[in-house]
């Protein structure tokens, strides 16, 4: 099995990612997916928890950007009061918008990590960029056939991650 889509870290949720953790990994910028990573599809605006987490990140010197495959109206509404560097219709796993985000934030690739909930888009982008992929379980997944298929594809990679972690902790 290709190891390409095995995440570098899996968190229970975005808020488990701390400034201290990122500093230890030498990460200065987090390029964040929106839907199901920060908020469910139905939430037009970020929750208080998202805002609080973002403020903590930024206060700790972590730059944030939004990189979403969703459309402009969704991302613009979501970002209205955040004012982050944000890209919609990013076409992930394309690298294009991530590179533009890095440019806009003034950070080097080596200082960035991708945060997302999907291996086939978020994690794959990170792999293509050669940067770490931080993955969270989807907040509220769609249950249509397409999404179920995508999640089924992820299973072996998530298993490989768990196996890798177990080995690491057994050492």
Minimum Å distance from CB 17 to Mg ion?
Answer: 15
Our CB check for Mg ion shows the closer of 10 and 26 to be 10
Q: Which of 4, 149, 21, 82 is nearest to 32 (CA)?
A: 82
Our CB check for Mg ion shows the closer of 60 and 153 to be 153
Q: Which stretch binds Mg ion (CB under 5 A): 15-23, 27-35, 100-108, 143-151?
A: 27-35
Sign of the four-CA dihedral 73, 94, 153, 109: negative
Our CB check for Mg ion shows the closer of 149 and 169 to be 149
Binding mask 99-118 for Mg ion (x = CB under 5 A): ------------------x-
For position 154 contacting Mg ion by CB under 5 A, the verdict is: no
Our CB check for Mg ion shows the closer of 109 and 140 to be 140
Among 36, 39, 88, 125, binds Mg ion (CB under 5 A): 36
Q: Which stretch binds Mg ion (CB under 5 A): 36-44, 48-56, 58-66, 151-159?
A: 36-44
HEC assignment per residue over 31-72: EECCECCCECCCCCCCCHHHHHHHHHHHHCCCEEEEECCCCH
**Which tokens in the block code for residue 32?**
């964040």
Among 14, 27, 29, 33, binds Mg ion (CB under 5 A): 33
Q: Which residues bind Mg ion (CB under 5 A)?
A: 33, 35-37, 117
């Amino acid at each position: 099995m290709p190891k390409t889509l095995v995440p570098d870290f899996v968190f229970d949720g975005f808020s488990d990612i701390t400034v201290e953790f990122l500093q230890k990994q030498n990460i200065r910028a987090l390029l964040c997916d929106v839907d199901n990573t920060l908020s469910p599809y139905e939430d037009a605006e970020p929750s208080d928890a998202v805002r609080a987490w973002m403020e903590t990140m930024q206060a700790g010197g972590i730059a944030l950007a939004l990189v979403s495959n969703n459309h402009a109206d969704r991302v613009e509404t979501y970002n209205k009061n955040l004012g982050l560097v944000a890209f919609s219709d990013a076409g992930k796993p394309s690298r294009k918008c991530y590179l533009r985000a890095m440019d806009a934030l003034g950070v080097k690739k080596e200082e960035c990590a991708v945060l997302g909930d999907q291996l086939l888009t978020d994690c794959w982008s990170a792999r293509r960029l050669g940067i770490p992929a931080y993955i969270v379980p989807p907040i509220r997944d769609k249950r249509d056939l397409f999404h179920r298929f995508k999640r089924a594809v992820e299973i072996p990679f998530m298993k490989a991650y768990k196996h890798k972690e177990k080995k690491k902790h057994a050492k």
